[in-house]
Structures are given as C-alpha cells and as structure tokens.
C-alpha cells in the first residue's frame, strides 16, 4: 500500500509538472473504501489546478486514507515530517478530516478540509472548512421545511461525526420553530442494510425524514424508506448532492429535496448571484473533460481550494518563504484577512474567529425532478 501511494503521488506530480515545486501541499483523500466516490472527483479536480501561483510552483502530494482516521493521521504526519508541506488538505469524509485537523493543530500547519468538521478555534485552530458547515446547510433545510409546512421530522444518518454534527445543528436551527424531530436512527457507513432503522423512523409517519449520508451511500437509506412505503418528504444533505444519488437511487429518489452549494445548478442561478461566474468557469472546464452534467460538488470543493490558494499565496509570499514556519503563519493570516471570496459553493469570509467561512444565505435547495436537479425558490 505504501509503495502504491508514493507511486500515485509521483504520478500526480508529474501530471501537474511540479516534481521540483516550491510550495508543498499534502492531501489525504479516500481513494478506496466506503467514500471513494467523494475522494476520486476531488483528485480529478486537483489535476486541473494551476501549476504555479505567483511564480511559485506547486508540488501536490496525494495519499489514500481509505476513509480510515488512522490512515489519515499517518498521512498527515508523513506530509509534515517527510514532505515538509506548507499546507494540509483533506479528507473528504468527516472522521478522517478530524484526524488531519488534529495533526494540523499540533504542528501549526494550515489545513483546508473537504468534509465539514467542527472548526471552532478552540478545537481546530489551524483548520478551515471548504464545504459549507452543517450549521449553514441546516439553516437552508429548516427554512425550506418551514416554507412547505413540515412539523415533524425523522432522522436517519451516519453514526459518526458527520451524522451527529448535522443532527445537532438541525436542532439548533429548529429552536424557536414548531418543527421537531420525532425519531432518530443511525447506521454505519459500512452497513449494507438499514431495514430496521427504516421501519423505526417511518413508524410515526413524520412529515419529512432527513437522511444524513454521503455519495452513493445516501441512496441506500433513501430506497429503504420508499420500500417501507413512506410517502412524506425526504431531505438529503450536501454530502449526497451528486448524481451518484440519482444513479444508484433511480426512481426511488425522485422528488427528494437536496441541500447544496449554488454551483451544482450554476446555469439556473440568477445572473447577479455572486457564485454565478466562478461556478460557470469551473463547470465549463470540468465538463469539457468529463462530459455534460458530470459536475460534482466534491470536485467543486477542490476547485474552491485552488481559488483560495490563488488569493492567499501571493499575499503570504510578500512576508515569508515557502517551507518555513513563518510562511505557514502568513498563509493563515492571509486567509483570515482576505475578505469575501466568491466560490463555486458560495461566498466565504474567513476570520480569526470564523473558520467555517460561509454565511447562512449560502445553501440552496434542489429537488430531483425527472432525474435532474431543479433549483427551488427561497
């Protein structure tokens, strides 16, 4: 496995033309395992990054963590110790992303994660979310539930940090409304059936059920709910906002509401939307290579990371050189003082006390209509 990872990293470096690069970036991704459907599009998007920024070459090193926090920790330590990286990135699933965040905090290395984690500055002082936080996306879901008259909600989600964060933040946003959870069921990412949980969560016939899962794995609980005869509304999180949900779920996911970043439906955005132009730039480049309607929200996170790098690296280079503690600190300071940055997934404005970046108006609600995404009015 070790030799495979090193070979992959070397291959990517050659692809980018950055074998002797000046700025080192270490990225831990699930390229195998239960969330590889998230990691692979990110890897493909990274291959489209610029090879230089502000005259400095980028050396991008990618290792597989197989969705395992232990592997992610090993990868992050190798990046810091052996590769002397200036920036850590990853992972694409919350548990291994938390593992990378711990190494970032310990070593004082800026960390950009592709999975939503708790980036409270007392918990992850060097980490920044490129996905929208679960709190921001919960805001969009609860607002839509209020609009269509949902009162009771069932929860069926991952029994890990992603599931628990989403459940917690949904309850935060439900406070003061007449919407409440009436059932809560959990399952493991590696489970092959959720029949028991589906029976329990549908027993009380809630107005809506929230599925908290990611990638193609989000289709299994959704299909189980339909097979149990559930007729209410079903919501999916931004972890499931890819066409893998429709590919695996088929007709069973028709009508589902999915929260996402605006770039997923870039063409449907109004002309004055701040993400319209930047999202269309990514969509055009991506779909030229991978085909129409092949855009992927996880690829969008990687694209957003490159936009951020192009913003902060030139600033950091004014005061420090790559490969130094001072440069890592300068990158952190540049990001926290950059001001609003329009991205594929919305506009971020990171500060010293806000490492989540996105504001409450970021999330959009899509519905699956005739096997395609349809933007819903706010």
Q: How far is CA 183 from the centre of its chain?
A: 26
What are the b/e assignments for 5-21, b being 16+ CB within 10 Å? beebbeebbeebebeeb
At 304-358, the pLDDT tens digits run 999 999 999 999 999 999 999 999 999 999 999 999 999 999 999 999 999 999 9
Instruction: Report yes or no on 369 lying in a domain.
Output: no
Residues 14, 103 within the same domain: yes
Instruction: Report yes or no on 246 lying in a domain.
Output: yes
Which range marks the domain in which residue 156 is found?
Answer: 134-260
Instruction: Report yes or no on 58 lying in a domain.
Output: yes
Residues 300, 181 within the same domain: no
Range from 12-26, 158-172, 309-323 carrying the lowest mean pLDDT: 12-26
**How is residue 358 written in tokens?**
């996105």
Instruction: Report yes or no on 142 lying in a domain.
Output: yes
**Domain count of the fold of the chain:** 2
Range from 17-21, 182-186, 237-241 carrying the lowest mean pLDDT: 17-21
At 280-308, the pLDDT tens digits run 999 999 999 999 989 988 999 999 999 99
Residues 239, 307 within the same domain: no
Residues 100, 71 within the same domain: yes
Residues 71, 188 within the same domain: no
At 28-44, the pLDDT tens digits run 999 999 889 899 999 99
At 216-247, the pLDDT tens digits run 889 999 999 999 999 999 999 999 998 889 99
CB 245 within 8 A of CB 258: yes
Q: What is the CATH number of the domain that holds 206?
A: 3.40.50.2300
Instruction: Report yes or no on 13 lying in a domain.
Output: yes
Residues 159, 246 within the same domain: yes
Q: What is the pTM (predicted TM-score) of this model?
A: 0.82
Instruction: Report yes or no on 42 lying in a domain.
Output: yes
Residues 125, 147 within the same domain: no
What's the mean per-residue pLDDT of the chain?
Answer: 93
Instruction: Report yes or no on 242 lying in a domain.
Output: yes
CA 124, CA 349: separation in Å to the nearest integer? 17
Q: Residue by residue, what is the 3-state secondary structure of 251-283?
A: HHHCCCEEEECHHHHHHHCCCCCCCHHHHHHHH
Residues 67, 150 within the same domain: no
């Amino acid at each position: 496995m070790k030799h495979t990872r090193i070979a992959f990293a070397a291959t990517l470096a050659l692809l980018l033309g950055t074998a002797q690069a000046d700025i080192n970036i270490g990225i831990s991704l699930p390229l195998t395992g239960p969330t590889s459907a998230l990691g692979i599009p990110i890897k493909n998007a990274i291959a489209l990054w610029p090879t230089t920024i502000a005259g400095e070459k980028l050396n991008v090193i990618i290792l597989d963590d197989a969705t395992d926090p232990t592997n992610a920790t090993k990868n992050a330590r190798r990046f810091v110790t052996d590769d002397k990286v200036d920036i850590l990135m990853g992972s694409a699933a919350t548990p291994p992303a938390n593992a990378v965040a711990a190494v970032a905090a310990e070593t004082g290395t800026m960390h950009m994660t592709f999975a939503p984690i708790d980036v409270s500055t007392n918990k992850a002082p060097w980490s920044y979310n490129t996905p929208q936080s679960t709190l921001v996306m919960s805001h969009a879901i609860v607002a839509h539930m209020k609009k269509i008259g949902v009162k009771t909600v069932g929860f069926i989600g991952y029994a890990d940090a992603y599931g628990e964060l989403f459940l917690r933040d949904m309850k935060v946003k439900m406070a003061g409304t007449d919407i409440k959870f009436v059932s809560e069921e959990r399952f493991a990412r590696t489970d092959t059936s959720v029949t028991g949980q589906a029976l329990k969560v549908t027993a009380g016939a809630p107005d809506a059920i929230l599925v908290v899962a990611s990638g193609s794995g989000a289709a299994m609980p959704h299909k189980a709910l339909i097979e149990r005869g559930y007729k209410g509304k079903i919501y999916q999180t931004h972890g499931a906002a890819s066409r893998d949900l429709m590919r695996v779920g088929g007709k069973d996911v028709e009508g589902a509401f999915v929260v996402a970043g605006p770039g997923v439906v870039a063409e449907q955005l109004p002309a004055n939307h701040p993400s319209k132009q930047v999202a269309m730039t990514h969509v055009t480049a991506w779909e030229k290579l991978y085909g129409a309607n092949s855009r992927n929200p996880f690829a969008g996170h990687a694209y957003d990371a490159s936009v951020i790098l192009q913003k902060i690296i030139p600033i950091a280079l004014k005061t420090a050189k790559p490969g130094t503690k001072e440069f890592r600190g300068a990158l952190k300071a540049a990001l926290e003082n950059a001001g609003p940055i329009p991205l594929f997934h919305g506009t971020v404005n990171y500060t010293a006390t806000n490492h989540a970046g996105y504001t409450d108006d970021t999330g959009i609600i899509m519905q699956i209509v005739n096997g395609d995404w349809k933007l819903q009015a706010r």
